[in-house]
Amino acid sequence: MQQVSPALGVLRHEIDRNPDDPGLTNVSLFPRSEQTGHRQEEVYRRAIAHFSEKSWYHKLARYYLRYKRDSEFEQLTRDAVRVSRETKLERYFHNVVSGSPALFLA
């Protein structure tokens, strides 16, 4: 109905009221516009901080790639690798690809 700001306000209120519901952080609910880009990033960041599911890193990474935000993508990748320390991912990189930082980012 072309009422983006009020709709986003309602969604934000519901996220604040029900922070444990990952369905409310589904940014496919957001319209595609530059105006809502910052809000999408904020929702992803809050979900990463709140939920243990690693798919939120994937979603934020795709967001950065879509909008060609290379430096943010690189930093997110570094953060994801740091958070994943001592996991299967890190063991894989160290055992199979000798822990090359370039391959971590690739």
What is the mean pLDDT of the segment spanning 61-74? 92
Q: Is 64 inside a domain boundary?
A: no
Residue 69's pLDDT band (cuts 50, 70, 90): very high
Q: Is 77 inside a domain boundary?
A: yes
List pLDDT tens digits, range 18-66.
877 777 666 555 555 545 567 788 888 888 888 878 788 888 999 999 9
C-beta separation of 35 from 4 below 8 A: yes
Print the domain residue range for 25: 1-59
> How many residues appear in the chain?
106
Rounded to the nearest integer, the mean pLDDT of the chain is 75
Q: Is 32 inside a domain boundary?
A: yes
Q: Let me know whether 17 and 39 are in one domain.
A: yes
Closest CA to 47 of 17, 21, 85, 13: 21
Q: Let me know whether 38 and 81 are in one domain.
A: no
Q: Does pTM surpass 0.85?
A: no
Q: Which amino acid is at 25?
A: T
Q: Let me know whether 39 and 86 are in one domain.
A: no
Q: Let me know whether 88 and 39 are in one domain.
A: no
Number of domains forming the structure of the chain: 2
Residue 68's pLDDT band (cuts 50, 70, 90): very high
